Structures are given as C-alpha cells and as structure tokens.
Amino acid sequence: MSLLALFDTGRSAIFASQTALSVVSNNIANVNTPGYSRQDVILSVANPVETGAGYIGRGVGNVELKRHYDRFIHLQIIGQSHSFGRSYSLEQGLSNIEQIFNEAKDAGLLNPLQEYFNSWQDLATNPEGQTQRITLLNKTDSLVKSAKQMEGDLKDALKYINEEIEGAVDSVNSITANIAALNQKITEIEAGNSGNTASYFRDERDQLLNDLAEIVEFDWYEDGDASVSVLINGKSIVNRTQAFQLSTVVDIEGDRNIYLHGVKMDSVLNKGQLGGLLAVRDEIEQNPLHDLRKLVASIIKETNILHNSGYGLDGSTNNDFFDPLQIKTLDSSTGADITSSTITDTSLLTLDEYDINFVDASNYEVYNHQTGALVTSGAYVSGDTINFEGIEVEITGAAVAGDSFFISPLTGVIKNFNRAVADTQKIAAASSDLNLPGDNTNALQISQLPQTSIEDLNSTTFESYYRGLVSNVGTVSKAATDSLAYDENLLSEMKSRREAVSGVSLDEEAANLIKYQRAFEAGARILKVTDELLEMVINL
C-alpha cells in the first residue's frame, strides 16, 4: 500500500464525518418540526487492498442514510386521527348548541313559556281586566321572540356547519393534490436500483396523510413504485400522481352534500372532521331543531283550538290566538308537482312530518318521516287530493317510480309564529257569550294546558317535553366532550410513541456531534501527517 493511499483513507474519513455532521446538524435543526423522522448515518468499510502483510483497509466506503420510521405506529396514528377529527367536530358543534338551551342563564324558552301560561292564569282571575289582557299580549310576544331567537341560533349553527363542510372539502382537495405531487417526486428519486431514499419527501407525505386523516376517513396503501394510493369508501381520491377532487352541492333543504366521482358520499363519511360535521348537522336537524318546532307547533295548535271555541269581550268567536299552522313541502320529481297543501282539520294533526313516495306511476304510499311507519296508500290520479291525518295534498303531473314529496307542518312553524290577536277585546277568555264580561272558563282551560299531557308530545306536558329536549342536548354534548378527551389523549400517546422511534433527542445528537467532530479532526490529522511524510520522502 503506497503512501499516497493514505490520502484516500484520510479523505474518506473527512467526507464521511462531514456527511455525518450535516445529518446530525439537520436533526438538531428539525427537533421541533412536525412529522420529521430522525436520520442516522450508516458507514461501511471500503474494500481492502491486498499487501504483502495482508489485507489493509482503505477507509470508509459507502455512506448511507437511515430514516427512523415505524409503519405500524403511523397506521395507528392515522386511524386514531380519524376518530379524533370526528370527536373534535362533534364537541365543537354540540357545545355551541348547548349554550342555546342554557336555562341556567335564562337563555332558553322555559321562562317565557311559563310566563305566557301564567298570564292566562292572571286573566282567568280577572277576565275583563285590560291590564291582564295587555300583559298576556306582551308575554306572548316575549314567547314568540324567544322561540324565533332560538331557531335563528340553531339555523346559524347549521349555516356555520355547512360552511365548515365546504372549507374541509377544500382542505382535502389541497392535501390530496400535494400528496399526488409528492408521489411523483418520490418515485423519481427512488426509481430503479439507485438506492436513494426520499426521506424528506416521505416525511412530508406522511404528515399530509396525518392531516388528511383528521379531516376525512380513508384507506391507503403504498404501491411498488413508492407512491401511495388513497381511497374513500373504495373510490380513489389519489392514484399515484393523480388526485381526484371532492365537490359539494347544496340540496333543496339548504344542506351542503359531498360528492366524489359524481356519487354522494354523505352516508359513508363517518369519521374525521367531515364525518363529525355531518353527524352534528343531522343531530341538530333531527333533534333540537325538530323538537323545538314541534313544541311551538303544539302550543299553537292547543291554544288555537281552545281560543277558537271561546268568546272575546266584544262577543266575537272563532278567532285564532296565533297565526294558524301551515304546510311546507319539498319535492324530488321532474314530472309532478304539489299544487296545493292545506290543513283540513287542526284537531287531527299529529305534528309529524311525512314522505309521499311513488312506487310506480299510478300508486303512492305515505310514510311517517320520523318513524318510517306507513300512514296510508292509494292509486294516484293527477289532480286528485291525498288526505291523511288532517292534511290534504294535491299533486298534478306525471309521477314516476322513485318520486318523493316531503310534507311538513313544522318546517316554517317558528318563522310564521306570531300572535293573530291584536285587539284585547278579542281575547277569548269566555266559553260563552251569555256570561260576558265575567266568564273566565276558556282562559282557565288555556291556563291549565301546562298541566295537560299532550298526545302530540309523546303524552308529556309542554314543560316536560322541553326539559327533555334540554336534557338530551346536554347529554349528547357531555358525551361528545368525554369522547374528545379520550381520543385526544390516545392520539397524544400514539404521537409520543412515534417520537420515541422517530423523534430527535438533543442529548443523543449532541454526543454524535462531538463524536463526528473528533472523527473529522482525526481525518484531517491523517492528511497532515501524510503530507509531512510525503514531503520528507521528496526531500531525501
């Protein structure tokens, strides 16, 4: 082995140490970078050279970089991120709804409801008193205002949720486009048998997968070319270097629905923030908003039935105290339309909502929208009326199998919630015009409604029904809070496990820094000594 070979040995020591110092420095610099995976330098001995004394090494050979990565832990983080994203959206949405029904701060409907019926009781004690009549109208207005405010807050919450859905979809599309771009970079770097590993791009892609997992539930796998494919319910959203976008469409009810490849995805998105937002929206629409509307509709119905039968101080009768209930409809048909929908008998109303479904062009079935129970069925003739439970609907046009019509006495009930009586003389406190003005029988009956079990409200009283509504909101909100705490702790624990494998230890890197610094200095010393020896030989 020649003296000049020592230069190669020293040079390899310097270059290897320099590479190691760069890796250590990069580890230290990224100690707080989310998703960064620690790297190590793997050194191997160069092929030795044969001499008379035997084989002698020629320094450092290949220098490779090792990325500390545990795929199993990464899979667990993605799975738990799905659950965390859903819990986060549920907790945020339901905690806001809980504040709307915060009876502890008199923010709900209970006090206005009690004061409204107390005013009827006061009127029953002095049926001809103007003060009591004016107070009744004022308390009625307070009840109306509170109900409208609560519905407005719930609708604002729904509007916010639909905006959040649109924003989440935009985030998904941005992330998947970036994943597809990184797929291309990674496959180009790792193509063939070059031995190169795109560690930094893999870290970035893994972090994007984690971010995506918090928004939407998906399945993914790594292809043979090192790219990843991402699927939502079996439908591709990232296929190697191509990304497919989610889109949103507002339906006739004002809800924003999610589509992929032209297919509606709402029913299969159960986890992630999108799954949580969809679940919160359904919860609000099907429970507190529906129940609040049903309570108000029942108050209108029961008050108007009794008030219609009573007499005012001016002898008038058959007067509604509140504006009467109305029917709202939505249709999913291209050839048929609802031309009229009316309430024929208020006393027969169940305050349920209905779906009129066409099994074919000539036959329809009416189902209870909430319970799914069949209400009635019959043969369809364009222009004929369909009657059920106090409602009459007229449909005209060419219906086909699959057509559906939604019938509701609740949709606009709070929007149209107003007192019909403006003149105090027309408040019907009396049950007969023979005993005016001292007859209080009708006012007394109305004042006793709070103690009456209302069949439309599951045979409970107004107050019990409302308290049940408030209790249910509190229960689901508490459950969402507990679920978020559990999922957040579990996700934090999994991230800690990842840090134990892939995270940077400053103590360890500081030790490596000193180690490779000394190695660099020693390599430089080899070159210096070799240079001195060579100069000595030349000068002989």
Q: How many residues does the chain have?
A: 540
- 41 and 187 belong to one structural domain: no
Region for residue 499 given its phi and psi (left: phi exceeds 0; alpha: psi -120 to 50; beta: otherwise): alpha
Residue 90 lies in a domain: no
Q: Indicate if 411 and 393 belong to the same structural domain.
A: yes
pLDDT above 70: residue 195: no
Measured N-to-C along each axis, helices 199-215 and 130-189 cross at an angle, to the nearest 10 degrees, of: 160
pLDDT-derived band at 57, boundaries 50, 70, 90:
confident
- The closest alpha carbon to 138, from 127, 130, 128, belongs to 130
pLDDT for residue 63 is more than 90: no
Last residue of a domain, one of 255, 286, 317: 286
Residue where one domain finishes, among candidates 286, 307, 336: 286
Question: Does residue 410 fall inside a structural domain?
Answer: yes
Confidence label for 105 from pLDDT (cuts 50, 70 and 90): low
Q: What is the pLDDT of residues 396-435, one digit of tens each?
A: 999 999 999 999 999 999 999 999 999 999 999 999 888 7
Q: Please, which pLDDT band fits residue 531 given cuts at 50, 70 and 90?
A: confident
Q: pLDDT grade, residue 5 (50/70/90)?
A: confident
pLDDT at 484: 96
**Predicted confidence band of residue 106 (pLDDT cuts 50, 70, 90):** low
Residue 317 belongs to some domain of the structure = yes
| Contact of 349 with 391, CB cutoff 8 Å | yes
Element (H, E) at 283: helix 272-286
Same domain, 158 and 177: no
Cis preceding linkage at 437, omega within 30: yes
Instruction: Provide the number of structural domains found in the chain.
Output: 3
Tell me: do 143 and 169 sit in the same domain.
no
pLDDT tens profile 256-306: 999 999 999 999 999 999 999 999 999 999 999 999 999 999 999 999 999
Question: Based on the domain organization, do 13 and 79 belong to the same domain?
Answer: no
Query: Is the domain of 251 the same as that of 303?
Result: no
Q: How far, in Å, CA of 368 to CA of 177, rounded? A: 44
Q: Are residues 196 and 257 in the same domain?
A: yes
Q: What is the mean pLDDT of residues 31-57?
A: 84
pLDDT, mean of residues 204-217 = 96
**What is the DSSP track for 360-429?**
ETTEEEEEETTT--EEEEEE--TT-EEEETTEEEEEEE---TT-EEEEESSTTTTTT--B---SGGG---
Question: Is 271 found in the same domain as 144?
Answer: no
- In a domain, residue 42? The reply is yes
Residues 319 and 384 grouped into a single domain: yes
Place of tokens 């990232």: 238
Identify the pLDDT of residue 193.
55
Do 244 and 327 lie in a common domain?
A: no
> Which tokens sit at 402?
């699959």
Nearest to 283, CA basis, from 480, 489, 69:
480
What is the residue-wise DSSP string for 218-230? -EEEE-TTS-EEE
End residue of a domain, out of 262, 286, 310 = 286
CB 406 within 8 A of CB 355: yes
Pair (146, 178) in one structural domain: no
Q: How much is the pLDDT for 532?
A: 85
| Other CB atoms within 10 A of residue 469 CB | 20
Q: Tell me if 262 is assigned to some domain.
A: yes
Instruction: Give the domain extent around 242.
Output: 74-83+163-286
Determine if the pTM surpasses 0.85.
yes
Q: What is the pLDDT of residue 537?
A: 82
Task: Say if 468 falls within a structural domain.
Answer: yes
Query: pLDDT (tens digit, 9 = 90+) per residue, 444-474?
Result: 999 999 999 999 999 999 999 999 999 999 9
101 secondary structure, DSSP code: T
Report yes or no on 96 lying in a domain: no
Q: Are 317 and 311 in contact (CB under 8 A)?
A: yes
The pLDDT of residue 6: 82
Q: Are residues 157 and 181 in the same domain?
A: no
**Structural domain includes residue 276:** yes
More confident residue, 61 or 509: 509
